[in-house]
Structure 1
Amino acid sequence: MKTLFELCKPRQSVFNETKREDVLNLSDLKEGKIECAPFFEENYVTDGMKTLFDTAFNRFIKRGQTGVVKLTQAMGGGKTHNMLALGLLAANPEFRGKVMANSEKYKSIDIVRVVAFSGRESDAPFGIWGSIAEQIGKKEAFSQYYTPLSAPGETAWINLLSGDPLLILLDELPPYLENAKSKTIGNSDLCAVTSTALANLFTALGKAQLANVCLVISDLKAAYEIGSELIRGAFKNLENEVNRSALNIEPVGAGSDDVYHILKKRLFESMPRADEINLVAIAYKDEVAKAKQMGLTSISPDLIYTGIKDSYPFHPSIRDLYARFKENSGFQQTRGLIRLMRQIIAGIYIGDKSKAKSKYLVNVFDFDLNDRAMLTTVTQIKQELSNAIAHDIAANGKAIAEEIDAQYQQELVGDVGKLILVSSLANVPNALLGLTLQEIIGDLCEPGRDIAGLKRALDEFQLRAWYLEHDKEGKLLFKNVKNMIAELHSLVDSYD
């Protein structure tokens, strides 16, 4: 059986900070800074993306009833990436056959005009409508709406946009609208004027003259309540005007394996054959079966086997454990997970003694908390666990887990600590936290690891860790308050 190092080759971009796709935005698209070939080389087409492509291109050939698409997902959920992919395909016909499964259906479409506006451009001098007019080469056509800034009506939008197929991309509008609230215009403000302009634009897209125009807009309702309310209101106006609603598309399926596929495509240049993956899955299944026979875990060996075949080169536990903290405030879901996994992959592949040469899967605990960049990434997910990490898990050899591993000459307790840490990172109401001992052992099982000694080492860890707790269901988790062990230590120290 071959190792990760032998079977999976990471992309060079994994090791290159300056070439990371996850920092691209609509400004890069508008300024022509994105190279199509490398972008699509790392792109995985999800079902949501397929629906977006078909919806837009059907519109370009005047066969689509839906002129407005709203991408719905929390911050960092793939909305901007989907917009970039659609914009690049619209403007570069030569790549459609390589990316779109049914590109023949749209072979009559030449280069599509693309207009992009990011709400981060809060200083746009002539508003959203001025930016759109300028990008399609008709800036003067809207001159009457610039001084003072006023909302173009439905007819004005139709006159401006009609003609050849056109794609309009509007991203991160909520922060733009919130900022516009502070800019006074007459007895109103730029926010209200922009809201009216958008409502008129959405309504105009329901007219026959704009049957080949598609508008894609992202929603960040979880992060920007004021702006999102305005956007929802604008879409409601569109429904009232044309008796239909915008099409909602989720870029990354919440209950699907999309994240696995995105990570594979984004991070790895080459993957092994199915028969080689099967050997790895069988080996893990056998290890879990041994642990189950010893009464150490209740996890099903068959589920591990099928899970690995779907998730390789990632351990199937990643899907559940990382999903726990994706709703944390400030964590950017798909984008945040890509960044985290990039750091993990780079960490286990770099160096002559890289861990990838002795590992068969990437597990949730395969990160080095003594690496400053990785420590920062993890603590930003849930900052209140910083003390738990420093005292109990990793502190350049001085943490409890490191001391125990040094005593037994293994890296078992450190991995246990990081596994429990990941299971404790959720920071939302009613979050699922912690793992049972049987779940911990099941997730730790891997070829070449001696699980038999785990119970003894874990018992010692529980006796010495200051921030490790049991909940009422028997799950182990880290908290930001000291436990009874720590209080006893403090009491003893007070008598010295």
Structure 2
Amino acid sequence: MKPWREIAIPHTDVLKGIFLQAEFAADITAVQSGKAVHEYQDAKAFFERTYITEGMRLLLTQVVQRLSGKGGEPVIQLQTAFGGGKTHTMLAVLHLASRTCPLSDLQGVPTLVEKAGLMDVPQAKVAVIDGTAHAPGQAWKRGRTTIKTLWGELAWQLGGSDGFAMVKESDANGTSPGKDVLRQLLEAHAPCVVLIDELARYIGQFEEGKSFSGGTYDSNLSFVQSLTEAVKLVPSAVLLGSLPDSAPPSSGDRGKLAIKALEHLFGRVQALWKPVATEEAFEIVRRRLFEPIKDLTARDAVCRAFADAYVTEGAKLPSETQEGRYFDRLTQAYPIHPEVFDRLYEDWSTIDDFQRTRGVLKLMAKVIARLWNSDNKDLLILPGSLPLASGDVRNEMTYLLPQGWEAVIEKDIDGDRAETTELEGKEPRFGQVNAARRVARTLFLGTAPSCVATKPGIRGLDRGRVLLGCLQPGQTTAVYADALGRLADRLHYLNSSGDKTVDTTRFWFDTRANLRREMEDRKRRFDLKTDVRKRIEDVVKKLFASVPPFDGVHVFTPHADVPDDSALRLVVLAPENAFTKDDPRPATDAVLEHLRSHGGQPRHRANRLIFLAADRQVLSRLQDATRVALAWASIVKDVAEGGLNIDQIQRRQAEKEADAASAVVPRAARECFKWLLCPVQDDPTVTKPTIESFPLNTTSGNAPGELERVCRENELVIETWSPIHLRVKLKELYWKADKPAVGAMAFWEDSLRYLYLPRLKSREVLAAVVRTGASSRDFFGTAYGQTGGKFDGFQFGEGAVSLDDTLLLIEPEAARQYVVGQQKLIVETPPKTDGDNGKTTTTREETVTGGSDKILNGNAGVSTTKAKSFRGSAEVSATLAKSKLNTIADEVIALLASDPHATIRITLEIDAEFPNGASDTVKRGVSENATSLGFKTKDWE
């Protein structure tokens, strides 16, 4: 038996690798203008390579009858799927009508004409209207004539300047010429053919209500309607129009409307068009790719040997191979095996954008060229023959598939580094017939489309169909069956549906390795509200473990568990409260709930909370990444505990995948939790706060640092404040004509509570701004109390103040007036006797410097005895006890303890009265706590 290469010789353009250039030249406008390559430009050469399918035969019969005035459909609509062969059919009509050679030179046409009951077909004028050739708003030239519309173009192509004169006025003003004018035009140049291609693209460009040089949307539809009606009135005129079976996604609303309108105007002649059958595709491909086969005896011998080998193997192969007609399929498809066509037309054609005719031709042209140049000696071109190691072939087969298939081919299927090649090198019985590569290639051809195809069905190939794609006469299926079993255990991307030794087991390739299927199955076990949420919570806690300037971070914490105190706190909202600009309510409602409530009680210090929320659009990716990490971790755990039996390669892969998936989750969490939500209230009279959102940059720096930057730059948290801002707030909200002084701690407490006040990082920020402001007379005066009209410890511009419960901040003008009043006081001190000379001295006591009420004594220069002890007591409000006692410890006790020689004893006295009697719970709790804290007395009366 001879190999295919000695019986079927490819066309020169296939062997030279220039077939695709000729395919792209299959353009009706290029042929009509004389610019196509010879195979498409010359009518004789075109029909030599064209197989007249049943659909084309029916259509051409209608055309020849119409041109001969013997009936036939006047208007034919070609509406086919992508790659359905309509362009090739229209080219056949063009060449048949406008031929310059005898009808007998057009292969296949004389028989067709004879069956139509005709002796000859008259030559006819042909006008080609290509919707992609012109734009609605641009005129074009035909010689010296300027043409603006499709009807102007039609008239020019049919009758030159004389024909154009018939529609000149309509062309100039963009209005349809009407049915009568078009009928006269067609009659004057009959017999004639009008071929309209891509018309929907042209009409879809017209905007509603706008007029272009090419007319309007309505005038173009009116032209189409008038033309179809005019053609029906001219017995030897025929119109063919092509429409896509659906609007492409890029066409827009106008394009879709145009298709619907044109469908209505053309009408459908469905019976005239049949899609290419698989058996017809055999002959199409052979004509287009191969020279005519001369040695039919050698061809039949090969096909008979294959058919006999299939019968010998019996039930090991698909049932159709046992039928006698399978020999006929082999001869029809020769030199390509029918299984190749079956997989391409049944499986690959379900992929969007795969062209049934041109796509197959492009692929097989590259396959044939590669096999020819590599001196392939197979008897037929089988699925197992496909040279996937070739870049051209591999690219042609993967460009419509999702990302990742090139890696699958290189690692598992074909090439110097593929597992199949390595296996064949180790196993001579596989290497002798390339068994491993043939099995893998067959599986790829038969299963790769299932990862993207929308066609429902059982995935994968069974063992018999895999063997059919590999077996040649003189071989047995055993070697390929063994290779399949070895590959099922070895390859990373080959999957199976069950026991690999059972004939009904199905095998398929996937871009995901075997364990990925296990991982995908396990992903579904993890619940979003429990497992996934808990893992995300743990990751976010680590991500925001310490976030300056916040004193505490609360991740997915209910409002009852977020303390209501003076500490600055970041609250990370739960995933169900994710945020988006378009729908912020789930997040903002959660923020408002935290601001209002502290468990069952109202929250008092709402201005100490800032919130961080997830981006809802990114949340699903984070949840998926978390599920993947949980799934891989469970696989690794089960492998370690013996619950999952895999090989070492898979184990290492699982561990690697688990580590990678675990590393993805923090990055995904960083990208997801990106919205800083800050409640604000510009006006004290507004009851409901506004929630402002600030996006975090998820790609720069670390998460806490980025969060701190956003807080600082947007002044969400004040770490350093200016006295002028404090003065503005005091003047705006606190100082009144009858009350020019306010307690500094009252302002601090209010800043914890009210959203219209600044959110200071800590009390020290207020203490620092008070100290700075107190050293100037521009901002406020200070005092440590007020008795009647007198300020105790009054200072104005001297600084050295301490922030405590007694500190007052005095409006600066009131402080100035107070200074003036004090300066006017002249106090006469009682007469004093000088102990040395017995003289009586009168000293005037005045307040004249520093702006304070400090007395300048005449004896100020005399040194006084140093104090030996200090005793102090203070009443502390129970509600401020924690803050007050901390302040006393920091600002009094610590100062006393700074003297290393001082002996300090501190006694705390608590006097509590209960008018209605203390409850047993309070009594028991206080007694137990007092005992544990070492109280000397703890008596109840």
Once residues 460 and 174 of structure 2 are traced to their aligned partners in structure 1, the CA distance between those partners, rounded to angstroms, is 54
The residue aligned with 2:73 is 66
Q: Return closer, same or farther for 1:419/1:15 CA change in 2, 3 Å cut-off.
A: same
Once residues 328 and 386 of structure 1 are traced to their aligned partners in structure 2, the CA distance between those partners, rounded to angstroms, is 18
Structure 2 residue 490 is the aligned partner of structure 1 residue 464: yes
Gaps of 5+ in 1: 240-244
1:68 and 1:205 in contact (8 A); partners too: yes
Structure 2 residue 289 is the aligned partner of structure 1 residue 288: no
Once residues 10 and 329 of structure 1 are traced to their aligned partners in structure 2, the CA distance between those partners, rounded to angstroms, is 29
SS of aligned partner of 2:84? coil
TM-score, L = length of structure 1: 0.87
Once residues 182 and 308 of structure 2 are traced to their aligned partners in structure 1, the CA distance between those partners, rounded to angstroms, is 65
1:82 and 1:251 in contact (8 A); partners too: no
Once residues 247 and 423 of structure 2 are traced to their aligned partners in structure 1, the CA distance between those partners, rounded to angstroms, is 42
TM-score, L = length of structure 2: 0.48
2:350 and 2:455 in contact (8 A); partners too: no
Q: Return closer, same or farther for 1:372/1:494 CA change in 2, 3 Å cut-off.
A: closer
Structure 2 residue 424 is the aligned partner of structure 1 residue 405: yes
1:14 and 1:342 in contact (8 A); partners too: yes
Q: Greater relative contact order (Cα 8 A, min sep 6): structure 1 or 2? A: 1
Q: In the alignment, residue 330 of structure 1 is paired with which amino acid? A: D
The residue aligned with 2:834 is none
1:10 and 1:270 in contact (8 A); partners too: no
Superposition pairs of residues 336-485 of structure 1, within 5 angstroms: 336-351=359-374, 354-355=375-376, 358-384=377-403, 385-394=405-414, 396-408=415-427, 409-410=431-432, 411-424=434-447, 425-426=449-450, 427-432=452-457, 433-471=459-497, 474-484=505-515
Q: Return closer, same or farther for 1:281/1:494 CA change in 2, 3 Å cut-off.
A: closer
The residue aligned with 2:686 is none
Instruction: Give CA deviations for 1:95-121 in whole Å, capped at 9, x if unaligned.
Output: 422331144655564421011122221
Question: Which of the numbers 32, 38, 62 marks the counterpart of 1:55?
Answer: 62
The residue aligned with 2:243 is 219
Structure 2 residue 651 is the aligned partner of structure 1 residue 488: yes
The residue aligned with 2:707 is none
Q: Return closer, same or farther for 1:28/1:220 CA change in 2, 3 Å cut-off.
A: same
The residue aligned with 1:325 is 348
Q: Offset of 1:379 from its aligned partner?
A: 0.6
Once residues 490 and 177 of structure 1 are traced to their aligned partners in structure 2, the CA distance between those partners, rounded to angstroms, is 56
2:334 and 2:380 in contact (8 A); partners too: yes
The residue aligned with 2:283 is 261
Q: In the alignment, residue 2 of structure 2 is paired with which amino acid? A: K
Once residues 441 and 334 of structure 1 are traced to their aligned partners in structure 2, the CA distance between those partners, rounded to angstroms, is 27
SS of aligned partner of 1:205? helix
Quote the RMSD (CA, aligned, Å): 2.9
Once residues 355 and 183 of structure 2 are traced to their aligned partners in structure 1, the CA distance between those partners, rounded to angstroms, is 36
Gaps of 5+ in 2: 36-40, 140-147, 499-503, 516-645, 660-941
Q: Return closer, same or farther for 1:247/1:151 CA change in 2, 3 Å cut-off.
A: farther
Q: Return closer, same or farther for 1:108/1:39 CA change in 2, 3 Å cut-off.
A: closer
Query: Which has the higher Rg, Structure 1 or Structure 2?
Result: 2
Q: What is the total number of aligned residue pairs between the two structures?
A: 481
Instruction: Give CA deviations for 1:412-440 in whole Å, capped at 9, x if unaligned.
Output: 22122221111122533234442101211
Answer with 2-11 or 400-409: which moved more.
400-409
The residue aligned with 2:129 is 117
Answer with 30-39 or 331-340: which moved more.
30-39
SS of aligned partner of 1:326? helix
Structure richer in helix, relative to its length: 1
1:291 and 1:442 in contact (8 A); partners too: no
Q: In the alignment, residue 149 of structure 1 is paired with which amino acid? A: G
Instruction: Give CA deviations for 1:292-313 in whole Å, capped at 9, x if unaligned.
Output: 37x5766633354343133222
- Identity %, equivalent residues: 22
SS of aligned partner of 1:9? coil
Once residues 64 and 258 of structure 1 are traced to their aligned partners in structure 2, the CA distance between those partners, rounded to angstroms, is 28
1:14 and 1:345 in contact (8 A); partners too: yes
Q: Return closer, same or farther for 1:281/1:60 CA change in 2, 3 Å cut-off.
A: same
The residue aligned with 2:221 is 195
2:413 and 2:440 in contact (8 A); partners too: yes
1:72 and 1:251 in contact (8 A); partners too: no
The residue aligned with 1:242 is none
Q: In the alignment, residue 488 of structure 1 is paired with which amino acid? A: R
Q: Offset of 1:284 from its aligned partner?
A: 1.1
Q: In the alignment, residue 8 of structure 1 is paired with which amino acid? A: A
Once residues 442 and 175 of structure 1 are traced to their aligned partners in structure 2, the CA distance between those partners, rounded to angstroms, is 45
